[in-house]
Amino acid sequence: MTTTRTKAAIFRALTLGAGLILAACSATTEAQLIDDNGTPTGTSNGAGGATVSANVGSGAGINLAGTGGNTSDIRTCSSDLQYVLNESNVVIEDCWPDKGCKEGQCVEPCEAAAANQGNIGCEFTIATPHFYVGIKPPCFSVFLANAWPKDATITIERGGQSFDAAAFGRIAQSNPDASTWQSVPATGVPPDEVAVLFLSHDPASKNGTPLVCPIQPAISVSGGTAVTQSAVGQAWRIRTSIPVSAYDILPYGGASSYLPSAELLMPTSAWGTNYMAVLPKDSAGPPWAQLVARDNNTAVQMLPNVPLPAAGPVPPGQVNTQLNFTLQAGEYVQWQLPKGVDMTGTVIQADKPVAFTGGNAYICYNSATSSGGGCDSAHQQIPPVAALGYEYVAPPYANRGSAPESIPYRIVGAVDGTTLTYDPPLASAPAFLSAGQVYDFEAVGAFTLSSQDKDHPFYLAQIMSGCNTPGANGLGDEEFVNILPPAQFLKKYVFFTDPTYPNTNLAVVRKKAEDGFKDVTIKCAGVLSGWTPVGTGGTYEITHIDLMKSGQGVGGCSNGPQQASSEGSFGLMVWGLDNYSSYAYPAGGSVAAINTVVIPPIPD
């Protein structure tokens, strides 16, 4: 339990501009309009058309009949961005497959996704994560999931050099042998499929066994595409013709990768300009952080709460002294910090969109029910301040052993005077937070956590402790992962589970609609069951489902491309487990502005 910064000046934005319009549309028009094959669940047959139940307004259904609705000129969008709706949620225009919906109009799909500020988008700029010091950079891979009813073509470049995705990209299959997978076709990633892009490695990378990619990656050179220690590097720029969701994993390869970590990637359209740095809880280290720019001549101001080393042309940072530097498009600065130095709480402000990633090269975590494990790496892309929530639901990962686990969490305050409420109550958790304050605590079972209002947002992460827990038999290991607030939940996810992991489990949270809880369907497994309430509020329920267990598919499921959908909003956390290794990431989510807090980098 440590405090990294106890006071910061907080300003309120006067308006949210377009973000406010989009947030309002999202809050009033979300609905599942199509089935898993992209077919509308109702028909447009005049007065005899069908009605689809949805969580909109007073709970009325979405009328696909096209008659009898309000004739107002208000036009909004369906949650999948593929239909235009009127004020009564009647479908009045189909945008897909060639267009998407933005503010009630059919526009280019990428424009629609950018305006929505969700995790789907058409441009991703990705820095190669730092890794364990002493091991040469291992296989770095990115997954692209296509939920649009049209092929997604891929363009890849780095440092002015272009790359052909067909050479090192593969369409994922349940078979773990990636060398047998089909190359990404010239037409792109097919609908409801996932492409795995093997981007880079050092051909000599090994940790007992090789940590190289299963096929020749885009770049195979000494050092791969990582930078060492503190320096400035070149990020990957990946563009697609239609919106996709993206994830990365380092190293690729299941238990034989030894030190894996994964993250949900945000498109550049969802990046922000104001961040509060968050790193995994300190451990063996070294801790590290990266900041990447989308545009040329991006001016950055930071207020470090710990000394920062010089990083190439970026000067060193002093505590409580503003640090100023400039990044060009695709450049990223990396800081490698000494063990025990945690920059969580450092304030970042830029004049153009940037992305911040916090990591640790070697995390070794225990808990009240774990004596530790084999240690792992960790990295997470942190949401901007405007996307942080004031209410969260913490779903425990499935027990690895014979008893419920005590799960560690990390919470970081953004605003002074934040008061926290837990359901059920947690004696070990903080009741108050100040700006930049960090608190690490443990909990058994699910709980909700909220502050007094949206003007007091905060960050929450979940940690998997080491695998030495009773009955676990070495299953899983350390990982650090963002928890997304319910305000950022979606109604459909297309995601990927790594076939090199013999155990895959999903932790699912659903939010009660005005007319009750909605079914959640996993395409391979059907409608989920086993729901249990979270706390006493009656608003949230959780369940878990195994897709793979000890290398065997469960209930018709297997690893590879996955789909989940509901008529109500829900959150989904993916967990992959192997012997002394694990990875986790949210299957997706919105990154829209849900608060108006701005934290300026002004010294106390």
Q: CB of 290 within 8 A of CB of 356? A: yes
Q: What is the pLDDT of residue 154?
A: 98
Can you tell me the mean pLDDT for 383-412? 97
Q: Is the pLDDT of residue 29 over 90?
A: no
- The Cα 307–Cα 305 span in angstroms is 7
Start-to-end CA span in the chain (Å): 22
Q: Is the pLDDT of residue 33 over 60?
A: no
**CB-based contacts of 357, cutoff 8 Å, min separation 6:** 127, 129, 263, 289, 290, 291, 292, 379, 380, 381, 382
Question: Which band of pLDDT confidence, cut at 50, 70 and 90, is reported for residue 69?
Answer: very low
- The Cα 369–Cα 582 span in angstroms is 18
500-519 pLDDT, tens digit each: 999 999 999 999 999 999 99
Q: Which amino acid is at 411?
A: I
129-158 pLDDT, tens digit each: 999 989 999 999 999 999 888 999 999 999
Q: CB of 235 within 8 A of CB of 158? A: yes
Beta strands 526-527 and 520-522 are antiparallel
Dihedral in degrees, nearest 10, Cα atoms 181, 185, 188, 191: -50
Can you tell me the mean pLDDT for 37-48? 36
Q: Is the pLDDT of residue 61 over 90?
A: no
Q: Residue 413 pairs with which residues in a beta bridge?
A: 458
Q: What is the pLDDT of residue 72?
A: 56
Any idea what DSSP says for residue 389? B
158-174 pLDDT, tens digit each: 999 999 999 999 999 88
| Number of Cα atoms under 13 Å in the Cβ half of residue 65 | 13
Q: CB of 245 within 8 A of CB of 495? A: yes
Using CA atoms, how far residue 487 sits from 11, 45, 266, in Å, is 22, 35, 16
Q: Is the pLDDT of residue 566 over 90?
A: yes
Any idea what DSSP says for residue 316? P
Question: Which band of pLDDT confidence, cut at 50, 70 and 90, is reported for residue 305?
Answer: very high
Instruction: Report residue 501 as tokens.
Output: 């992991």
Question: Which band of pLDDT confidence, cut at 50, 70 and 90, is reported for residue 368?
Answer: very high
Using CA atoms, how far residue 269 sits from 9, 121, 391, 464, 571, in Å, is 27, 7, 24, 30, 21
Q: Is the pLDDT of residue 27 over 80?
A: no
Dihedral in degrees, nearest 10, Cα atoms 396, 400, 404, 407: -50
Q: Which amino acid is at 456?
A: H
The owner of tokens 């380092």 is 250
Q: Is the pLDDT of residue 202 over 60?
A: yes
Can you tell me the mean pLDDT for 31-58? 33
316-353 pLDDT, tens digit each: 999 999 999 999 999 999 999 999 999 999 999 999 99
Q: Residue 158 pairs with which residues in a beta bridge?
A: 161, 236
Q: Which residues of 539-566 are buried (b: 16+ CB within 10 A; e: fewer)?
A: bbbbbbbbbbeeeebbeebbbbbbbbbb
Angle at 100 between CA 99 and CA 105, to 5 degrees: 100
Question: What DSSP line would sit under 223-238, residue for residue?
Answer: TTT---SSEEEE-EEE
Residue that wins the pLDDT comparison between 218 and 16? 218
Q: What is the pLDDT of residue 44?
A: 34
The owner of tokens 């709460």 is 305
**DSSP reduced 3-state for 308:** strand
94-121 pLDDT, tens digit each: 998 899 999 999 999 999 999 988 899 9
